[in-house]
Amino acid sequence: MASLEISLLSGKTQKIELSKKQPISIGSHTSNDLQIEGVASMQCRISWNKKGYEILAATSDGIDVNGTMSGRTLLNDGDLIRIGEADILFLDEVDLLDLASPLPDTSDNQNESSMYDLQPISKDELEAELRSPPKPQEKNSPSRSKSTKESSRKQEAKSAKNKVSKSKKEKKVSKKIEPLPVEELPADDDLDLESAAELLEAGSSIETPQAPERTFLSRTSDHASDEIEGTSETAETENKSTLSLKDRIRKRSSKNAVRPGERQITRSPLVLSLTGGGILLALTALTFWFIIGRDTAKRHFDAAVQEMEAGKYSQAIQLFEKFQENYSKSDYVDEARILLSKSLVEKEISGSTPAWKSGLEATDQFIKKHRDDSDFKSQHPIIADYGQRIALGSVETASRTKDRDLLVVSKNAEKILTRYSPQDVPPTETLAKIKAGYEKAEAEILRKEVFDVAVLEIEEAIKQKKTLKALKRRRHLLDRYPYYNNDRKMSTVLDQILEVEKGLIKINNEPVAASNEEYPETFPQVVTLALHTRSRSNAISDGRNVFALANGSCFGIDSITGDPIWQRPIGLDAPFTPLTVTGAEPALLLYDSRHQELICVSQKNGKLIWRQAMPSRPTGHPLIHQGLIVVSCDSGDLLSLDLLSGNLVSQIKFAQPLIGAPGLVYGEQAVAVAGHEAVVYLVSLRPFECKRVTALGHRPGTIQIPIIPMGKLLLVCENDRADSALLHVLDGNGENASLNELEQYRIKGHVQSPPVLRGKQLFFPTVPERITAFTVTDEEGKRKLTEIASYQLQDPLSCQIYLSAGSGGQLWMSSSALRKFTLLNSGIKLDKKKIADGLGAQPMQLIGNNLYLARRLLSSNSVIFTIANRDEMSSSWKSILGTDILATYSAGDSGLVCVTSDGDIFRIRDKDFEPSASKFKERTITQLKLPEGLTEPLKTTQLSDGKIAVYCGSPEPTLWILNSFGQLEQTIPLKAPLDTLPILIGDGIALPFHKKISVYRKGRGLNTVQDFVLPDDVDAKINWKQLIPISKDQCIALTSSGQIFTLQYRTTPARHLAVVSMTDNKQPIDFNAGISNNFIAISDASGQLQLLDAKTGQPKEKLQLASPAANDLWITKDLLFVESKQNLSCFDISNGLQKRWDLKLSDSSLTGQPSMYADQILLTLRNGTLITVEAKTGKIQTEFNTPLPTSGATVNLDQIMLVPTVDGSLYRIDQVLQQKGQASL
């Protein structure tokens, strides 16, 4: 009966009997007769096809039968079918002999006798037999032939039965031997004793009639007589029917009897029995040998498998290799071959230290070795698993060992995973994990590579003693990878850097004497515009002054009246505000940026006491202590000066620039100063030398305020982030302080101004407009800084903040206004009252109960210096210093009108420059009332009728019209801001609003003249660049996009502005045109220079410049001046555009229109340089500098030539020009 034996990988077995009528289906679906996981819904079917059982595949891949993929196969006994995780063995066992059927009689001749029926014959009979002719031997009858075949088939079946083994691959007898009928018994020669005994035993229970005895003739047909051969067929039938089974067996047994001496050895029953028994014993021995050999191979195979399952892959590999060598024909050799390949992979990728690269190679060998196997597809899940394990494991190991080669291994393993995973179920989640691991490993490897390179660069910089370079490289590494902050190697190289840094410090104790002589005064005659207003005129000065810096000048202001007492130019961008000191007399420390000198002046009159040259710009205010001045410079120099004489006593040169100002440590015998990057130095005052170099780790330029002493502590403020600052609390206990960091505290906002320490309360100002209060203690074991409260203004501005602390937790803050705060237990309380709106310009000064503060308005660059009673929050006077002069206009004979950005109109006369006149112009002729909240500067122009127009924009656009003497005539509120300055046209004022031009008529407003409006398709970003009057009723209007309109004011049929002509250059116009009586010069962004007729607006000449204009164009007489890229070109426009000369302008540009001085051209540069050149050749004749940068072009006041400067001063220069001219001759 045919059956299927199923063996699963889990160890379970199952047997299914096959039926010829009912096929068997196999697949993963529950409807199948045999369900196997991990295969198709229906994988195959086994059915009977009238010849045998066949297997039919239901998929295109086919079925693995005996290692060969096939779509349809006829099954034989012992065939092995592999489907998924199941091994299926087909068995078709047959019955070798059915002893229950009757034994057939195979006698060929009914008359043949047994050996017991033989009788002697006579001599006559023998002679007659011999004389008779030999009878031809008959061929075997059909029944005999058939009987012989059946007997042979029976012997083959019996032999096959003895050779059956338990091997799954050996084939068994496939056909079942049918029982033979009685008539077809085997030949007598083939009937052995065993068969006879069986027949006797089977027939003993059956009673059959005794057969009559027959005459014995011969054993074979050769000895049979003719009579026996001639016996009738009827007699044979009758004899057969009457013989019993016992007689029939006896008959067949006696059939082989022969006479003595005629016996054949090969036909001897004994020999045949012994031979048969020997063969049987040999077969039995062979069977046992096969079984024993099979069991031995199985034991060796199981031992190898057991080692493999135990994780002992090296032993398993040896056992599998030995098994294949010794049992190459075993049923398990194919499985052993696969398990060997698996063990080779597992050996590399398992264990505590997997060799992923070798594992990948072993996996590749696995694939190459078994890819041609019929059941290779069943190995796909295993291969995919290997790919997954190698891909994930290699990136994890690469992340740990920083081996980049493992990333390549992971990529290749990922390809294996993708290739051998089910296409319908891709390993998406696993691939995502591999990708994440790969990215992490790649980042880790890159980090290690960057670290190694950085360490080499740092060590090389240390060898070259370039400590700043080493610190910079170290900082870049730690910025990129904070992971290495606590790395031992980083600590080692930092110690090496500090050691080299200290070794590079140089000390110079050679004294340098200061100078007490003033520089020669080039411009003795000057008038400074300084508006002063006060509410009380009866105040009496007590002789004490307060001080303010304003646009490059230091002013001494009477503390009671507010009157300006003295002024001293010191240059722009001072590194610190005036610092009061007490020496032989009350003095003031200043830094003169023009000469790079530290100067000491008298507080009373600003006269020089001494001046000392500095190696570079100071990094903060000097430290004054015990008659010494300690100054840090950005060149890396720390200077010690004598306070009284200004002599340089000692100088320390560090290896890197310094930053911030030095702070006095506890004990007052040493100072701490911060380096430009990462380090802090401890310097003793006597002797003046560096005691210690400590690493703080701050970034370049992040320390903006001095180091703050707090008892035994030092506070360093680092603006390391955009929205917060880091406070470093250092050990500052004495001359031998370690400067080690004790704690850190992060505070919101940027620290740009020094905090205020009063008792144990520390108030920190941070931008934007926030105050944070702390308590400070230097006791051991306690937190050094403890935040109490903080307060931030609503809608804060990013501006400088200056604090002043008082008793009872009171605090005043000058930022966008002066405000008062009180520190309470519940927090910081803000007083509702505020005064002095404007941005704080310098730290507040305190005399008695009065605060003195400097501030600026958003619309002006002038400094408003104000007194404030801090209790009452009221002010009694103000002075405007460093007045920002917008323009100067001639005001008839011997007069000038000056318009300032604060809306103050001054009138200057020639008598103001007499020696007896005051240097300060404090009174104005007009003060324009500017709207509150003005954020844009004022603009001014002189109209064609000599009047002056002043304009302000949002929030309340207004136009003021002044007469030629500076007196206010008209105030015109505007409905919108103007794009540029207005002009006169017709009987009104042309106002260039956005995308349109309106005409304002005095007394009639804006609605009486139809507006000129740009087309709707014009970009909204385009605005009016300039309006140029060319006649009483005509003007030229320039747009920022390069369009040039010629407009005419017409009164018919209605008042309107008509377009006379329009030219579109299609290039932006960035700067104002040059204007003269006859010509208008325009330059666009492409560098094209055009010369227009001033009366018609028609183009006359064009020229392509080498580079576009970088400043406004000016025309003086018939000379056009065009500035581009620090080069000034002069063109003669009397006859076209003919270039006369070029002049290099180094690091500056023109500040206004060139003017004529005699036959020379006077050029005024923004940096304060005045140059006279020959008009024809451009050769420089004279060159000199004003004390401060200029704010406008030179102006003439009768016979006096003046130039305005940024501090609001007007310097007389005609005398200097004469002296310089004579000297040049």
Closest residue by Cα to residue 1160 from 1220, 1111, 1202: 1220
pLDDT digits (tens, 9 = 90+) for 1125-1148: 889 999 999 888 999 999 998 888
pLDDT digits (tens, 9 = 90+) for 543-554: 899 999 999 999
pLDDT digits (tens, 9 = 90+) for 1070-1102: 999 999 988 999 999 999 999 998 888 888 999
- pLDDT tier at 26 (50, 70, 90 boundaries)? very high
pLDDT, residue 850, reads 94
3-state SS class at 1010: strand
Q: Report how far residue 742's alpha carbon sits from residue 724's, in angstroms, rounded to the nearest whole number.
A: 20
pLDDT, residue 1020, reads 83
- With 0-12 / 13-18 / 19 or more C-beta atoms within 10 angstroms meaning exposed / middle / buried, residue 839 is middle
pLDDT, residue 243, reads 60
pLDDT, residue 251, reads 62
Q: Report how far residue 861's alpha carbon sits from residue 883's, in angstroms, rounded to the nearest whole number.
A: 7
Which amino acid, 581? V
Strands 1088-1093 and 1079-1083: antiparallel
Task: Mean pLDDT check: name the lowest of 132-141, 365-374, 1088-1097.
Answer: 132-141
- pLDDT tier at 612 (50, 70, 90 boundaries)? very high
Residue with tokens 């309380």: 829
**Which CATH code is given to the segment(s) 1148-1225?**
2.40.10.480
pLDDT, residue 294, reads 59
Mean pLDDT of the chain: 84
Q: Report how far residue 916's alpha carbon sits from residue 913's, in angstroms, rounded to the nearest whole number.
A: 8
Average pLDDT over residues 246-266: 60
Q: Report how far residue 549's alpha carbon sits from residue 852's, in angstroms, rounded to the nearest whole number.
A: 12
Which distant-in-sequence residues (6+ apart) come within 8 Å of 236 by Cβ? 110, 111
pLDDT digits (tens, 9 = 90+) for 468-477: 899 999 989 9
- pLDDT tier at 263 (50, 70, 90 boundaries)? low
- pLDDT tier at 163 (50, 70, 90 boundaries)? very low
Q: Report how far residue 491's alpha carbon sits from residue 640's, in angstroms, rounded to the nearest whole number.
A: 33
Into which CATH architecture does domain 2-92 fall? Sandwich (2.60)
Q: Residues of the chain with pLDDT > 90: what percent?
A: 57
Alpha helices in 265-312 (DSSP H): 269-309
Does domain 886-977 fall into CATH 3.40.50?
no
pLDDT digits (tens, 9 = 90+) for 678-722: 999 999 998 999 999 999 989 888 998 999 999 999 999 999 998
User: Phi, psi at residue 1077, to the nearest 5°?
Assistant: -65, -30
Q: Report how far residue 662's alpha carbon sits from residue 669's, in angstroms, rounded to the nearest whole number.
A: 13
| Other beta carbons within 10 Å of 711 | 15
- Residue 733: pLDDT above 80? yes
Q: Report how far residue 387's alpha carbon sits from residue 391's, in angstroms, rounded to the nearest whole number.
A: 6
- Residue 170: pLDDT above 90? no
Into which CATH architecture does domain 650-751 fall? Beta Barrel (2.40)
pLDDT, residue 1007, reads 84
Which distant-in-sequence residues (6+ apart) come within 8 Å of 927 by Cβ? 903, 904, 905
Strand partners of residue 590: 599
pLDDT, residue 125, reads 53
- Residue 216: pLDDT above 70? no
Does domain 1078-1144 fall into CATH 3.30.360.10?
no
- Residue 896: pLDDT above 50? yes
Q: Report how far residue 1157's alpha carbon sits from residue 1159's, in angstroms, rounded to the nearest whole number.
A: 6
Strand partners of residue 45: 25, 56
Strand partners of residue 973: 958
Residue with tokens 């086919």: 62
Element (H, E) at 1195: strand 1195-1197
Tell which wins on pLDDT, 175 or 1058. 1058
How distant, in Å, are the alpha carbons of 190, 373, 386 from that of 337? 48, 11, 17
pLDDT digits (tens, 9 = 90+) for 314-344: 998 999 888 888 888 888 888 888 999 999 9
**Which CATH code is given to the segment(s) 987-1064?**
2.40.10
pLDDT, residue 191, reads 43
* Domain residue spans of the chain: 2-92, 650-751, 755-882, 886-977, 987-1064, 1078-1144, 1148-1225
pLDDT, residue 976, reads 93
Q: How far is CA 23 from the centre of its chain?
A: 64
Average pLDDT over residues 364-369: 92
Q: Report how far residue 773's alpha carbon sits from residue 786's, in angstroms, rounded to the nearest whole number.
A: 9
- The class (CATH top level) of 755-882 is mainly beta
- Helix (H), strand (E), coil (C) string for 10-78: CCCEEEEECCCCCCEEEECCCCCCEECCCCCCCCEEEEECCCCEEEEECCCCCEEECCEEECEEECCCC
Residue 278 backbone class (left: φ over 0; alpha: ψ -120 to 50; beta: rest):
alpha
pLDDT, residue 259, reads 57
- Residue 526: pLDDT above 80? yes
- Residue 840: pLDDT above 50? yes
Average pLDDT over residues 615-629: 93
Domains 2-92 and 755-882 share a fold: no
